[in-house]
Each structure stands twice: as structure tokens, then as C-alpha cells.
Chains A and B, each alone.
Chain A
Amino acid sequence: MIEDIRALARELLEKGAVECVIGYEVGPTGRVRPAFVYEPGEVERLIFDGRCDQNLVTYLTRRNKPRKKGEEVPTTAVVVKPCDARSLRVLLNEHQVQRDKVYIIGVACPGMQNADGTPELRCTRCDQRVPLLYDALCGEPPEVPTVRDAYEDVQQIEALPLEERLAYWLGELDRCIRCYACRQACPTCFCSVCEAERDDSLWVGIADRIPEKAFFHIIRAFHQAGRCTECNACEAVCPMGIPLSLINRKIAKDVAQMMGGYRAGESDEPTPLVTMLTGEEAIDEIH
């Protein structure tokens, strides 16, 4: 599979079909990190294995503008796993990325692994091994497990009494240091001026206290409603180990339940939160 990716990257760069290939490489400390390859001679840097868990689609929105005034938007090739492909579909639906400016190198995903070799939790819940959209597919599709996500982790929190839930979340969110790594790593968090960093603090104050921190995380999660593909990039980069995916997954679960089984990135429809009602009049919480 690595050879396929390298050969494809070399061909694309030599032809001039793309300006840059975004993939994975091993950094100087031995950890896998994103790689930006501009020269055909450098494609040997690229790797792909169970450690490549970053979502590279994040970088596409930043590349979706001309280098200089009057120039065209550069074309980029990007290595995407099935979860990343769903993020990319969300960005395409929202016109944040131009389809003809991105070459999608899909990889048949073996599932990502933790440092100790055990499968990542999110990969044990995933039933996609081949990306939903790609220009070229590398690797042989592994056997598809038939498990569908049951949201057991979310249900555990839901089963707690109300006061314990509040205490749990205040405790978890109090660890936040407002470094915004979650926001930066998130492919669907692409506002050029973040509401949480406005000079006038219109909604979210910049203080490092519980209400502001909780406000920031709730709002950030809510803005991803129907758009979060549960790629787990936010939680993976959190230096304080806050279980952010529990908030995102709760919203994803409710969106699917209330809005006709909608799952982000699996169709050409944008998030149901910005569209008109289409037969979901049965949203039951209205009195």
C-alpha cells in the first residue's frame, strides 16, 4: 500500500497535476506526523500504517485560497481514510473545498492503533473500511466488520443522575487550558475569526474559568452538530485528556435519532440544522 501511495504521489507531482501531496511521515522523534510533499524526489518520506490517525482534511480549507492575488487556487492531493473522507464530504457540501482542486488518495483502512498496538476505540465502532469518495484507491479493502455504533459510552453518561452528570462535566471541562488545539485539529471548525477569540468577547469570554471553558466546549460541539464525523481529532490532540468525543457523539446520536437517521458526511445533503423540515415534524420535544 505504501508503494502504491508513493508511486501515485510521484506521478501526480511529476505531471504537475497537483502542487502538493499531503500524507503521513515519520518525524525525528519516531512519531507519525503530517507530511507536505512538494517535490517528486521526496515521495519516499510518505508512509501509511496503523499510526496515521491524524485527519489531513483539516489542511484543505486553509489551502483553498490563491497564493497571490490573481493566481488560481492550488491543487492538492490528500491521503484520506474512510473517516477523513466523511469530513471531506462535509466540507464539499459546504463549499469550503473545491472538488476539482483536490485529488483524493483514498486508502483502504486497516483501522488505527494505539501506541501499545491495541485498536483505537473509535476504529472498533467503525463499519467503513473503504472511503466513500476517492479518485484513486490504495490498498486492498480488509474485511468489513458488521458492527454498527451503539453509542454505549454516551449511554453510560446518560444513565447517571442529573447532578452527577453536571459534576462530571464541570470536572472534565475544568481541566481545559483554552489552548484551542481541538479547534485547530477539527476539519469542520474553519471560521477565520473564532467566536471564542473575538476581541469583544461577544459570547464567550476569554477567561480561563469554568463558565467560559464549559461555554466554549458546548458551543464548539454544537457548531459541529450534523457535521462532526467522529474522527476524534479533537480528543486525540487534547493535552489535558478531556473526553470531547463524548459531547460530539452525543450530538451525533441525537441528530441521527431526531432527524431521519442523518449521519454527517454520508450524503450530499448539508447538516439538517441548516435545512428546512422534511417530514421530521415529529420532533417530539415540542410541547
Chain B
Amino acid sequence: MSGDGFEPRIVAFLCNWCSYAGADTAGVSRLELPPNILPVRVMCSGRVSAEMVLKALLSGADGVLVLGCHIGDCHYGSGNHRTVKRIPLLRRLMTYMGIEPDRLRLDWVSGAEAGRFAKITTEFVEAVRALGPLSLPLREEL
């Protein structure tokens, strides 16, 4: 717990085939995970559109984490090829519009990488905690 009591709310989009399984493995392995993560299971990280990320940020999330299969391991062959282009582009656009780029992170977690899942989520929560709450006008009402 930080001194000022700010607990970041993180929406994590997890791909069904790798990252959600990885999160599951982390839970089964009883690894310590931050409680700030709100997981949303999607069939593929390629499904995560710019709309989803923006809606999460405008609806009260302080950060958005997108996790998918490693490149080459996509269940659908090339779904994450789109993600790896889309999310960095959105990150740059967000920065251009005045939102810190570190509030959006894309990474890869396979079904067996429980430790990696715990490491990435912890890192990300701490990074967003350091940034503080996201303040956008009217965001809670959307």
C-alpha cells in the first residue's frame, strides 16, 4: 500500500490461449499477484481494438495491459502480428494527445510463463502507481 492510498485500477486484456492460461497457472502456482488487475478474457490479443483501450481509460482505468501469445505462437497464426503494430501506434497517439504512454503496455505471456505473468503485472502496477491517477474530464460518467 502506498502512503497516499492510491491503488491503480488496471484493465488487463488476456488472450484466451496463452496469457489467460498463464494467469491461471500463476494462480494455481500460488504466486503473489497484485490485486489491482481486472482481467478481461479475449479470444486473441488481435481482438483488442483501440476502442477497447480508450473505453477502459475513459471508464476509470488508470492503465491498460494487453497480453498475448508470443509472436509465432498465435493460436490463429497471425492475430498478434496486428496487435504488435496496433498497440505501439496507439501508444504514440495517446502520448500525442497528452496521456502518458506508460499507461498502456503490450507484452507476451505464454501458458507456462506464470512467473513472467506475475513479474509483468507487478511491474506495470508499480509503473502506473508512480504515474498517479489518470485525470480526464468526465471520465467516470462515460
Contact = CB atoms under 8 A, between A and B. Distances in A.
A215 B101 CA distance: 17
Given A169-B97, A274-B82, A277-B84, A258 B89 contact: yes
Nearest to B88: A285
Nearest to A217: B97
Contacts of A272: 85
Chain B contact residues, majority secondary structure: helix
A239 interface: no
B92 A254 contact: yes
B55 interface: yes
B106 interface: yes
B88 A286 contact: yes
Chain A contact residues, majority secondary structure: helix
Contacts of B105: 287
Nearest to B59: A211
A211 B139 contact: yes
Nearest to A169: B97
Interface in A249-287: 250-251, 254-255, 258-259, 272-277, 280-281, 283-287
Contacts of A5: none
B38 interface: no
Chain A contact-residue range equals: 35 or more
B58 A162 contact: no
Interface string B78-105: 1001101111111111011111110001
A64 B71 CA distance: 38
Given A273-B82, A283-B88, A219 B51 contact: yes
B98 A167 contact: yes
B138 interface: yes
